Structure 1
Amino acid sequence: MTAVPIKLSIVVPLLNEADNLTRLIGYLAHLNPLPHQVILVDGGSTDGSVVIAKKLIKGLINSSQADINWQVVDWQITESAAGRAIQMNVGADLATGNVLLFLHADTQLPSHAITEITSAVMRAEWGRFDVRLDSPEWMLSIVSQMMNWRSRLSGIATGDQAIFIKKTLFEQLGGYPQQPLMEDIELCKRLKAIGKPACLRSKVITSARRWQQYGTWRTILLMWHLRFDYWRGVSADNIKQRYYKT
């Protein structure tokens, strides 16, 4: 079966991501094929993220590498109120592609990601990638594998796994729920009721900074506890307070 061409809009929420922007723009610019559109949605950064992003994109478009036509990508930078769900919904509203990919600023897609997504949306309405934490620590390698197994068994993905979804379905569900945390879990619960995700085995590489900053075991136990509490009905506001208190 021939893959159906798609127009992929990548939506990236930003909040004080100045340290990650050079890598982010570099990774996106070397996807093959290139995306239809990249939308950066800033939620009130105070570290100059917007200015830095504009400078990097301008430099990329004016690059002397004439063999790569970065001008075909529709680069968009916009601002919104803070909150990952709010920012991603703002980006989705601006998207002109027929498939949306929600990407964290500290997460790197595999270079062939768009080809894989094109194939995946032939058999599923939505999906996600496997994930690898960017640390050589053996325990974090196990954590990565456990995240992938849990996601494959449960059909629930986290934002770190680069969730992609057909835009018409995203709009049908009303976008991300307006809650301060666990918005990815809640969206996936709604998506599961419609169909199973395409669980791609190619890995995105995401930051291990939280595990490294707060300790591997402490972070594992916290995440399990928060997810269990959300499952039993504890509010997202309560969970957010405990998540950012650590």
Structure 2
Amino acid sequence: MNVIIPSWNAATTLPATLATLAEAPCRIIVADAASPDGTADIAMRLGAEVVQAPRGRGAQLAAGAAASTAEWLLFLHADTRLEPGWSQAAQAFMAGPPGAAHFTFALDDPSPPARRLERAVAWRCRNFSLPYGDQGLLIHRGLYQAMGGFRPMPLMEDVDLIRRLRPLRPVALAPRAITSANKWHKHGFMLRSAKNLSILSLYFAGVPPRWLARIY
């Protein structure tokens, strides 16, 4: 398994993310966009390989995938930590036929609004098969390539790929992908969630991602 992590100024969050990956033997590829905060140096010091890519999560994920060699790929955000037990769940899934899976969304925040958001995301995944990139994506290389991979989009690259995968209904794995709540702290849970929903609705309505990136 190769783990691919796009990064931009992730010096404060990447070490914890990489630490959780030590549970399993895997090659880690950090696709950095020339972060000025030393992210690339930190990644290499902690044992990851670094490839440089144009800034934009879609382009960075695609660059990381192009540098990978494993049969299975795990795409993970730089501010997302996988909880203990993730590797056993991943290995059990990879023992089956080629497919795609994601982890359970969680925030590193103990507040009731965080729990409500987690329940809302679980409902969205259960009813619409629509996980986001902050839940991780474990996918067989052949399926990833057959679906066309990540496109070089400035935003919504995760939704774009999941829409192509939806007929297969990516499997939900029980271990949590614990994501930093900083974005929600900055704007407030209600405002941030409403903004995310608005952007998703505009995307499904056909608004180009390059326009959506300006208001994200």
TM range (shorter): over 0.9
- Tell me the residue number matched to 2:59: 86
1:111 aligns with 2:104: no
- Tell me the residue number matched to 1:98: 71
1:121-154: CA deviations, max 9, x gaps?
Answer: 4156101011111101111111011111101211
CA distance in 2, matches of 1:219, 1:101: 27
- Tell me the residue number matched to 1:201: 174
The residue correspondences of 1:162-181 to structure 2 (distance < 5 A) are 162-181=136-155
- Tell me the residue number matched to 2:39: 49
Q: State which of 8, 26, 36 in structure 2 corresponds to 1:15.
A: 8
Q: Secondary structure at the match of 1:19?
A: coil
- For structure 2, the 5+ residue unaligned runs are none
Q: Any runs of at least 4 consecutive aligned residues in structure 1 with deviations exceeding 3 A, and if so which? A: none
Q: State which of 19, 30, 37 in structure 2 corresponds to 1:26.
A: 19
CA distance in 1, matches of 2:114, 2:153: 28
Q: Secondary structure at the match of 2:46?
A: helix
Q: Is the 8 A contact 1:35 1:114 kept in 2?
A: no
* CA-based RMSD: 1.4
1:61-105: CA deviations, max 9, x gaps?
Answer: xxxxxxxxxxxxxx4211111111111111111112111110001
Q: 1:187 to 1:123 in 2, by over 3 A?
A: same
- Tell me the residue number matched to 2:128: 154
Q: Is the 8 A contact 1:41 1:90 kept in 2?
A: yes
- Indicate the percent of aligned positions where both proteins have the same amino acid: 30
- For structure 1, the 5+ residue unaligned runs are 1-7, 58-74
- Tell me the residue number matched to 2:200: 227
CA distance in 2, matches of 1:23, 1:120: 24
Q: Compare CA radii of gyration and give the structure with the larger one.
A: 1
CA distance in 2, matches of 1:25, 1:237: 30
How much does 1:241 deviate?
0.7
How much does 1:55 deviate?
2.3
How much does 1:200 deviate?
1.4
- Tell me the residue number matched to 1:145: 119
Q: Secondary structure at the match of 1:47?
A: coil
Q: Secondary structure at the match of 1:17?
A: coil
Q: Is the 8 A contact 2:62 2:152 kept in 1?
A: no
- Tell me the residue number matched to 2:209: 236
Matching residue's letter, 1:27: T
